Structure 1
Amino acid sequence: MASLPSGLHVFYANQVESLAAQLALDLALFRGAEGVWKPATIVVPNPNVKDYLRASFAEAFGAVANLQFCYLEGFWERHANRPLLDRTALLGSVLSVLQDPDIAREEALQPLTAYLEGEPVDLKTIQLGQRLSHHLERLLLQRPDWIRSWDRGIPARGAEPAALEAWQRALWRRLRRAWKGLKEPPLPLIDWLEDASFPRAPFPEAVFLFGMSHMAPVFHHALAQVGTRASVRLYLVNPCEEPWDLDPGARPAGSGADASPDGAPPEGEDPFALHSDRVEIILQRWARPAREQLRLLAGLAQGDFLGRFEAPAGTGLLPRLQRRVLASAEDAEPWEGPDPEDDSLRVIPCPSPRREAEAVANLIWDLVQHSGGDLHFGDIGVLVPAAEQEAYQEHLAAAFRSAHQIPWARAFGASRALHDLAEACLLLLDLAGSDLSRAGLLRAVSHPFLQARLGATPDMWGQLCEQAGIVARLDAAETEGTYVEGGRWTWDEGLTRLALGRFMKDDEVMEELGPMGQPLGRAESPALLALLGPLAADLRALAQGRFSLAAWEERLDTFLRTYLGPDPGSASEGEAEAFEKVRRALQKVAQLQVPGLPGVALDFQALRRLVKGALEALMADSALPPGRGVQVSCYTPLRAIPFKALFLMGLGEGLFPGTERPDPLDLVASSPRRAGDVSRPEQDRQLFLEALLCTRQHLVCTYPSREATTGEALQPSPLLRDLSETLGGDMWQAACLPEQPLHRHDLSQFPDLQPHPQPHPHPHPLPHPLPCHSPAARREAEARWLGQHLRRETGQRDLPRHLASAGGDAALQAALETRVAGCGPIGEAEAPPPSRLRLTLRDLRRWLECPVQGGVALRLGVRSQEEEDPADVEDVPVDSSPLDQWWLLRRSFWSAASTHALLAAPLAAAYAQTRRGLESQAKAPIGPLSQGESQRHLDTLQAWAALVGDAHGTQLHRFGAGLPLETQGLPLEDHDALMLDAAHPRGPVAIQLEGLTEPLRSGAFLLLSTAECGKEGPKERDRLASLRAWLGHVALCAAGDCVPRSARLHSAPRDAGPAVWQLPLPALPQTEARALLEEWCRDILAEEAPRLLPIEALLASRPVTDLADWIQDQTDQDGRATLTSFRGPVPRVKDLEAEDLDVGRRRLAPFLALQAQWERA
């Protein structure tokens, strides 16, 4: 016999601890003498509430056993003796009906059939089916009276608009007919409650439901039905005392005086007049879901209906606010002004989410440090908006690590093993449905999980795919109907070249493989062939065909086991468990097929949407084991769990509460509201209210107060504005701190670094800004303080980039190094310079053209933004890039010149061969798209040949190492690398200068151009090109070959006549040439913060007076950049400080002086 009376019993309180104590008492009464040996069923909203209850029971009983925890939906499925209509069966039924060709003959369903016309039919079926099943499920839970009306064939009362109601009614009746013929039709919960099988359902003798913030009205009635034969006990958080708690006679006897005749909840924005009995803004705007649910349950309760409220003690702002919520404003106690010891409630605006995280970490350390042992890290929670959860967790991880390694744990979400596995699975599924681009496939195999699972090392695969000409698509069949028919630039063609090049012997005579190009072979080829070949084929095979859901499950399982399955010999338990969870998630997709209904068949595009939804839900709904330290989560998982200190982050406008997206298919949202309807913003407001009620000592709210890019001020969340209105101006001012500094190293956070800090007029007891407990930030601040004092002592001069150049003895140098070393973004200890450094003539030229772009490329070895990473190519070319076209022209011309035959036929042959190389790498278009470009190029080559004449005697001069690229084939005259000495503040550096000159014939450097020259000579672009010749001339003079030379420019513009211009290059003494090169090298090494100095400003025909304004007037748009400074690894260089023009004039004085001596040849 049950030890607890049957019926629906409701217990509510403003503190979760009171509810947990009541549940513990009821549990003890229920178990009686059997104690922990008697099983008990407890329904909870999420795993974190389960963990909280386990901890509470362990403290109360000393042991926790035989507690069967479940969620509300699982509770019904576990105890149902008939198959229930869950969301899986509902979606599967809707899909089956939508794919039934007979629905085209039903006039009422014409809106659906019209939407499904045209491709992609299966994908549109899935998209529509998911939305319809979601809305039908909502109707079953919130509008059961509409369902009853539809079952009788009559319109639902109050459903608007009528047209939407009509076809949704027809769809529901079509589903009913489909289920009618099944052996075991799935029953909606409302039908099961009235079915003859319900009294025989094996419900436990007592059910405990804890922490259900709001439930659909159907669940209220269902629990009341269970209460007729078992003890059903609800434990709910309610923020305030209700009228009947003060006057028991005021308890509502039913669902309200305005209840509709069919028993549905009353309609209206405030059907229970909640705004009239309590005037507090936060109760009116935040508490409606909880308070309405309590009133809906009042008429259904069959036993206890008890409230237990406890007024928080204390004089701080937080307990005052909690008491204000609990009791009527008429009982509000007077406020006597700010308390210097009160730190219970704070609102902190921060310039960025990163500064939010740093402020939270510093406050956590400060609270624990000054708590006297009363507060531990496990007593602290941090809640972030769900939409920004990943970003905030990354910021918090860095901030906690910096603040003495604060221990923390994610309270909800997927484990790392599950997250990585699901992410890799999604990558492969997206790839299977794509055109198998080079970028997509290499991006997938570069994922850490796939890289570890497949043993891939794809660092060089991008270059290998580029050389093999692999761009996209599997084979020739997929290129049909495109301009690249014949399988060009496909995986099949590229991998064939790699296979032949790798496995054929070197001495074999290998003919060209038609238009695809020569075989290739490199050490990385076998790994790429072994992995990417089968993977590309399997991905394409997976995406082909249209199958039933069961067949798709088998295909997916085979594919995932092959490429993502754990190694039985080395996989950890977590990895194996993660893989099984993914498999079960995919099995749920197959369960969409309802036995007895017509089969659902889908193509891969539609199936991928289902699988992605299942995997994303798996990552979102997975529970993590309880961790030690600060608990970090979004709001829902930690709802109603008490913390001594709680931090609510991301409370900016638009972040929290979330917004409700209108859905034109949502019949509930477009119809009059009923009691119990809860929108997305209302859910978030109630979460915020529960967080406020469950904080025991310290509540801290932070929000981003500045826009990330513009720095404009941002408004806080409406929740904080409501809080401000509730508290009133004086209390709000006491709670709200001023905006925190932009940087963590701001000196205002370190009082000892400010001997005479300015007093701040803020009434809050803590100093402004908050104290900083990060050792790294402390070091940065000390370096900043030191820099300010050094500047003040040196007359506000800029400090040297290298500490050694500041002078002073060894002790001073060591002290400076100690202070500055490891300061992160402030600067790091300068590494000693290399004793030997290799520079090329190209590096030197790029630096002279632009010290910013050339200097960064030289120091960091980064590529230009225009130089696309080979691994990022996704599309076949429709034209050649300007850089590739220029390379093609020069390479073709000098290849023909190397045979001394600058005639039409040799030029055309050299051009065709060179172009085939570009085409084989997918860098130039083919077919009709290439014809116009090729003809223009041939015209240019022939014009150059006419200008250059006999190429006999043309050669290159090479210093040290270096391979000619554009000038390959010309004779080489080798010289030793130029060894130069460059002084550095920290010691001498030996410079080894290497590289190639421009082609040289009879003392003239031969330059090629397609630009039109003016009457007085070449324009700025070609004058800039003469820098190549001059650098080669200086290098030869520095090597001892001190003779006069010239630069000969051959201009063949497309729309103007050809011309040849000549620039004399007088001989330089060897010592002068070496001194010039060494001076440039010293400038490169000693350059502190390079300023913008485009060489075009020095070559401009009109003198530039204001360099900064001149730079701003230049075009830096992609493809139209007018300056070399706009092309390189550094973006948005217009924002940089401009250099003094005199610096450039001094640096390039000999070269600039020659520019007036151009003459027509």
Structure 2
Amino acid sequence: MLRLYQSNHLESLATRLSGLLAEPAGEALQQEQVIVQHPGMARWLSLRIAGHLGICANLSFPLPAAFIWQLFHTLLPDVPDYDRYQPKRLTWRIYRLLRDVDEKLTDPSVTGYLAGADDIKRFQLAQQLAMLFDRYLIYRPDWILKWQQGEAATEGDEWQAGLWRHLTEEDAVHWVSLQLQLSGMSTTSFQKILPPRVFIFGVPTLSPGYLEIIRHVASLIDVHLFLLNPCEAHWADIVSPSEQAQLALQSREQALYLEVGNPLLATMGRQGRDFFAAINEMDPGGEELYQRQRDDLLLHQIQNQILTLSEPQSGCSTDGSVTLHRCHSPMREVEVLYDQLLALFEDLPDLTASDILVMTPDIDRYGPLIKAHFSSPGSRPKIPFRISGGGLLQDNPLATALLEIVQLPGSRYPVGSVLNLLEYPAIRRRFGLDEEGVERVTQWLNQAAVHWGRDGESKHSLGLPAEQSNTWRSGLWQLLLGYAMQGDAGELWHHHYPLDAVEGSEGQWLGGLLAFCDALFALEDHLMIDRSSQAWVNFLIGLTEQFFSSDEESEAQLESVREAIHALAQEMQQAGIEEQIPIAPIRYRLQELLNISVDRGFMGGGVNFCALAPMRSLPFRVIALIGMNDGAFPRQQPELGFDLMSSAFRRGDRSRRADDRYLFLETLISARDRLLISYVGRSQHDNTLLPPSVVVDELCDSLQLMVAESGMKEIIFDHPLQPFSRAYFLADSTLFSYSAEMYEAAMRVGNGDRNELPLVETPLAETEGDGLIDLQQFLHFFTNPLKGFADIRLNLDLGQAEQLPEEREPFTLAHFDRLALEHELVESMLADQSPEALYEQLRARGRLPHGMAGEQTFGQMQSRAAAMVQRIQALDGGDLLQPLGVDLKFDEHHLVGHLHGVTTGGLLIYSTDRLYPYQMVRHWIRHLLLNALNPPGVTPTTCLLEGDRTGHYRSVETAKVHLETLIRRYRQGLRLPLSFIPATAWIYQEKLEQGGEEVARKAARQRWFGNRFQPGDVDKPYHRLLRPDRPALDQTFFDTSRELLQPLMDHLEWQG
């Protein structure tokens, strides 16, 4: 017997179910079966049952398809315990057939797709066909039967019918054939096998075929069907305005008898309308458990109007029970949601976090934003939360790492992608590396000029010259030889350059890098081999052991990855795939399995975040929908050109769009106290209005009829672009924020203070040992005092991203790279070394463009270097001396180090291009040191060669005085950022001597701000970070520039 229980309240249905479960049926320990559509429903229902009965035990919650297949398996002979026509298994079977029978496919849309298709395209087509055949089995069983009898079922079905017959030749045990067997067998013996009763709870729709089986089972045992019905009235005949218009075109007389009733029910309830019509045709007995809400809230009035099939009534008041929030971005939606939830905890004192459900159509996009914002609420109270519904790739780094590993073979092995793998702690541990080790490895690969490519042979396989330079093999050979030949670096060994970069105990990191690269590159050949499903499992499991070393925290992550691998093998084995399969579909399907939505932690405490998906219509006191953007919901399902159902619609057919519309309706009636909806409703670029989801628009239409245009202003809230807008903190504003940080920012902006906060506002304390100053650190500081402050005192390196190795080999040399190589050329020529030898060395080091471009570039550099060598030799600056020891005392400060590059003729500084201000400052300090030391037999001058002109720093009698000034500024600059930017200061000081203060300041500002052809100093990261609180070019800057550069300019002379 079939009994139907209907209610607009899922809680009422759960209470009635609990009452029935309390009444024993059958044997005492026999397990009861409650069929649900989703594991989330099973979780909610088990909690409700336990709340009513004190315990929820000995219950099974199968999904409809699993229940019916188990029914076939139990009642019919020779039926396996799994369905080989289930889409995930059917995909593999079709994929296997497509590799053999694609010449028999005649449909142009398919043959065009398969023309030249690789294995992934073939697998994707197999997936689409498997989903189609699954729908045919459920919604077009008559077609299936005709195909099996060799008949045509509909126009253009020849190739699909042929493919289906190929599948049934392998295995004819499928849903339709079993249903026929079941209906044709005697039912007398079935009652002894079947349980005395079955419960079906909260299922929003079932196909006609499923309903027929339920009807058949209900003739044998009691079937209790609990359905959430939004309307207590008969609503099978209502139509939406669009349906009414279409029917009017067909028959004006028929349209006179059509009614819309409640517009929300009419436009969103088509799927439920057709389902309940099909249920009522089965003439079930049952109970109606509807509950009318009190009309105390606008939300309840909407729900009651749906319940009674009433049109929206005007004159309703707004009360905050339904609110819509228009934001500029997904991040702003999440920020607004947080404050709205905090307000609800104040308005509803008994509200708990677990009473709140937040859903979004795109959990993959919003999940990371939710996690970031809800985990770090700043000064606001923290709200506990759980995110469910995301795949393993969203929060399991080992799943992501495994996919990256199996995707690299066959690629170019770009250095960044390979290094990214070493960012995973489990991989680092396996190869004996830590964070410091990876940082050093990155530096080594940068020095070794590794860009991409396993070796020259792999480049050749891509149709490129077999150039060994800039490949992994070249770089690793450089590092290995340099470590083995320490002290002999510089001389080529069998065309390889020994790079002296690895020091002492760092050899263990080099060993880890070599082991990692060996393991990774060896996969190239292994993944070219086709394997059986079990062989692929063994191989992939082996990869997890070869590349991952888990700890207590990551062991569960690793186990989840292994489960996904075993699930892949199981579905292939159950599909009967015994052939050797290439890696491409294996890799593709594994990625899908790792990204399948999993309801981990749903209803596990805290605010519940999950995907807005069918079968999620659970009641909560507060329901929030975020990301309800136009086009995002209802979701569009792209139509396949070969979908035979698309042109032959039947009542009861499901569509993604209709499912989503009904889901929104069920969500609307499931909110008990509050409904919040947000969407991206304004452009971040020009603030133009953007429409919400069409279902939100339809809700707004009903609301406008109920509260009028003026009332909508209290329902729809327009949020500013920034969370620190003053609109949130005005006394008469309807907007609000609980963030103290945003309040402080809003007050600063509101007072006209639009500058960023400085990183350091008050001077830092002196550190121990500050009296002892290292010379190299001293010189480094004045190259860029703001960078020096960040490096030395804050240990902050904003240039780290720039130090990552490039992923493309050099086609031309960057300006400063060329200058560095020309400097090497000059030094080698002065040492009487052969330019040809240096050319071979630079090629081995990967520092030159490949081929003719490299030869031409080297020739140009050689010409410039030779010209500079002639000028240097013409100077006859004397013999190079041993480095001079520096040990100078200035009151409580002590400057120590060594001064290099001193000859009997003084210091010689040269550049084949020009000497930049930071270099001029650095060498001015070295010149001062030479004069302060005043070694016997050495001329205390510095010769400056740049481009085509020559200059000198003259001897300085008061060198120690100037050094003392620099040391004082150095000490200040280590406590608070120093107002001295060498390039801008240099322009200022030059123009000051040429044209006066006004001209100098104008030139300095031009240099600081730059132009469209050349960026200014203001754009450099250290300058923007450390001094954003006030104008950089203030009086302090100009005073400091004069103090430090005036003595330099006074002692600088240029000729030519």
Fold conserved (TM > 0.5)? yes
Amino acid across the alignment from 1:236: L
For 1:930 and 1:279, locate their aligned partners in 2 and report how far apart those are by CA, in whole Å. 79
Match of residue 615 from structure 1: 594
Q: How many Å apart are 1:16 and its aligned residue?
A: 0.9
Structure 2 residue 584 is the aligned partner of structure 1 residue 605: yes
Partner of 2:1041: 1148
Shift of 1:730: 3.9
Partner of 2:605: 628
Deviation string, structure 1 residues 502-530 (Cα, Å, up to 9, x no partner): 6x697999985312222765423335435
**One-letter code of the match for 1:313?**
R
Q: Is the 8 A contact 1:46 1:71 kept in 2?
A: yes
* Residues 361 and 141 of structure 1, relative CA distance in 2, 3 Å threshold: same
Q: Greater shift after overlay, 423-432 or 1083-1092? A: 1083-1092
| Offset at residue 54 of structure 1 (A) | 0.8
Aligned to 2:76: none
Rounded to whole Å, the distance in 1 between the matches of 2:369 and 2:1037 is 46
Partner of 2:18: 24
**Which residue is 1:264 aligned to?**
none
The 3 A distance-change label for structure 1 pair 998 and 1106 is: same
Query: Which residue type is aligned with residue 891 of structure 1?
Result: E
Mapped partners of 2:326, 2:268: distance in 1: 22
Show CA shifts across 1:139-193 (max 9, x none): 4334445545655666655xxxxxxx73xx23322323323433x4342x23332
**Displacement, 1:719?**
3.8
* Kept after mapping to 2: 8 A contact 1:442/1:462: yes
CA distance in 2 between counterparts of 1:575 and 1:1004 reads: 61
Q: Pick the aligned partner of 2:418 from 433, 441, 447.
A: 441
In the other structure, the counterpart of 2:297 is 316
**Inter-CA distance 706–294: structure 2 relative to 1 (3 Å threshold):** same
CA deviation after TM superposition for structure 1 residue 210, in Å = 1.9
Map 1:225-374 to 2 at 5 A. 225-243=216-234, 276-299=258-281, 301-304=282-285, 307-330=288-311, 332=313, 334-335=315-316, 337-338=317-318, 342-350=319-327, 353-368=330-345, 371-372=348-349, 374=350
Distance 2:968 2:489 in 1: 52
Task: Note if contact 1:549-1:601 (Cα within 8 Å) is conserved in structure 2.
Answer: yes
Does the 8 A contact of 2:481 with 2:498 survive in 1? no
Letter matched to residue 130 of structure 1: Q
Q: Distance in 2 between matches of 1:782 and 1:272?
A: 65
Task: Pick the aligned partner of 2:60 from 60, 68, 72.
Answer: 68
| Aligned residue number for residue 191 of structure 1 | 177
Could you tell me whether the CA contact under 8 Å between 1:379 and 1:643 is conserved in 2? Answer: yes
Query: For the residues of structure 2 that align with 1:484 and 1:411, how far apart are their CA atoms?
Result: 50
Given residue 888 of structure 1, which amino acid in structure 2 is its aligned partner? L
- Matching residue within 11, 25, 48 for 2:5: 11
Alignment of 1:1006-1021 (within 5 A): 1006-1010=909-913
Aligned AA (1:108) = T
| Alignment partner, residue 118 of structure 2 | 121
Can you list the C-alpha shifts for 1:423-478, whole angstroms capped at 9, x where unaligned?
23222222334333433232113213434566532422223444556554445643
Contact in 1 for aligned 2:354/2:603 (Cα 8 Å) = no
Name the CA shift for 1:32/1:509 in 2 (closer, same or farther; >3 Å).
closer
The 1-side partners of 2:272 and 2:291 are apart by: 18
Partner of residue 210 from structure 2, selected from 219, 222, 233: 219
- Alignment map for 1:1107-1118 (pairs within 5 Å): 1114-1115=1011-1012
Is the counterpart of residue 769 in structure 1 residue 756 in structure 2?
Answer: no
Q: State whether residues 209 and 235 of structure 1, in contact with CA within 8 Å, keep that contact through their aligned partners in structure 2.
A: yes
> How do 1:526-675 and structure 2 match up within 5 A?
526-530=508-512, 531-564=515-548, 574=556, 577-588=559-570, 590-591=572-573, 593-594=575-576, 601-617=580-596, 620-624=597-601, 626-636=603-613, 639-654=616-631, 656-657=632-633, 659-660=635-636, 662-665=638-641, 667=643, 671=647, 673-675=649-651
The structural deviation recorded for 1:605 is: 2.9
Alignment coverage as a number of residue pairs: 1015
Q: Is the 8 A contact 1:48 1:411 kept in 2?
A: no
Unaligned stretches of 5+ residues in structure 1: 158-164, 259-266, 751-756, 763-767, 806-829, 956-969, 982-988, 1012-1020, 1052-1058
Secondary structure in 2 matching 1:41: strand
* Contact 2:37/2:615, CA 8 A, preserved across alignment: no
Between the aligned partners of 2:200 and 2:754, the Cα distance in structure 1 is 69
**What's the offset of the Cα at 1:610?**
1.9
| Counterpart residue identity of residue 58, structure 1 | A
Cα distance change, pair 636–994 in 1 and its aligned pair in 2 (3 A) = farther
Q: The residue matched to 1:236 in structure 2 has which SS?
A: strand
Check conservation: 2:907, 2:927, Cα contact below 8 A. Answer: no
Match of 2:702 in 1: 726
Assess if the C-alpha contact under 8 Å between 2:459 and 2:466 holds in 1: yes
Deviations 1:266-303 (A, max 9, x none): x999999899533544334333322232223333x242
User: Counterpart in 1 of 2:770?
Assistant: 836
- Change in Cα spacing, 1:844 to 1:1002, as seen in structure 2 (3 Å) is same
Instruction: Note the C-alpha offset of 1:657.
Output: 1.5
Q: CA deviation at 1:908?
A: 0.8
Which residue of structure 1 aligns with residue 823 of structure 2? 890
Partners of 1:328 and 1:417 in 2: how far apart?
Answer: 43
Cα distance in 1 for residues equivalent to 2:911 and 2:415: 35
Partner of 2:106: 108
Deviation at 1:708, TM superposition (A): 5.7
State the secondary structure of the residue aligned to 2:323. Answer: strand
Contact 1:16 1:642 in 2 (8 A): yes
1:617-636 CA distances to partner (integer Å, 9 max, x unpaired)?
A: 2xx13543752232222223
Task: Establish whether residue 379 from structure 1 lines up as the match of residue 355 from structure 2.
Answer: yes
Identity of aligned residues (%): 20
Distance 1:926 1:178 in 2: 55
Distance change (3 Å), C-alpha of 1:796 and 1:573: closer
Instruction: Give the deviation of 1:863 after TM superposition.
Output: 5.0
Check 1:213–1:848 CA distance in 2 against 1; reply closer, same or farther (3 A cut). Answer: farther
1:1049 to 920, 945, 955: 945
What are the ranges of 5 or more consecutive residues in structure 2 without an aligned counterpart?
74-78
> CA RMSD of the aligned region, Å?
4.9
Which residue of 388, 393, 397 corresponds with 1:420? 397
CA distance in 1, matches of 2:930, 2:902: 13
State the 1:910 CA deviation: 6.5
Residue 129 of structure 2: SS of its match in structure 1?
A: helix
Cα distance change on mapping 1:392 and 1:75 into 2, 3 Å: farther
Q: CA deviation at 1:44?
A: 1.6
Partner of 1:1073: 962
Contact 1:1065 1:1154 in 2 (8 A): no
Paired residue secondary structure (1:1061): strand
Deviations 1:878-922 (A, max 9, x none): 44433322211112312433x3x4xxxx35156337525xx43x4
Cα distance in 2 between the residues matched to 1:1108 and 1:510? 46
SS at match of 1:53: helix
Residues 210/107 of structure 1: CA separation in 2 closer, same or farther (3 Å cut): closer
Give distance in 1, aligned partners of 2:529 and 2:203: 45
* Aligned match of 1:263: none
Match of 1:134 among 127, 131, 136: 131
Q: For 1:625-1024, list aligned pairs within 5 A.
A: 626-636=603-613, 639-654=616-631, 656-657=632-633, 659-660=635-636, 662-665=638-641, 667=643, 671=647, 673-704=649-680, 716-728=692-704, 729-737=709-717, 739=719, 742-743=722-723, 758-760=731-733, 768-770=735-737, 772=738, 777-778=739-740, 781=743, 836=770, 860-861=794-795, 863=797, 868-870=802-804, 872-897=805-830, 899=831, 901=832, 906=833, 908=835, 911-912=838-839, 915-916=842-843, 919-920=844-845, 922-950=846-874, 953=877, 971-976=881-886, 1002-1003=905-906, 1005-1010=908-913
Name the SS of the counterpart of 1:627 in structure 2.
coil
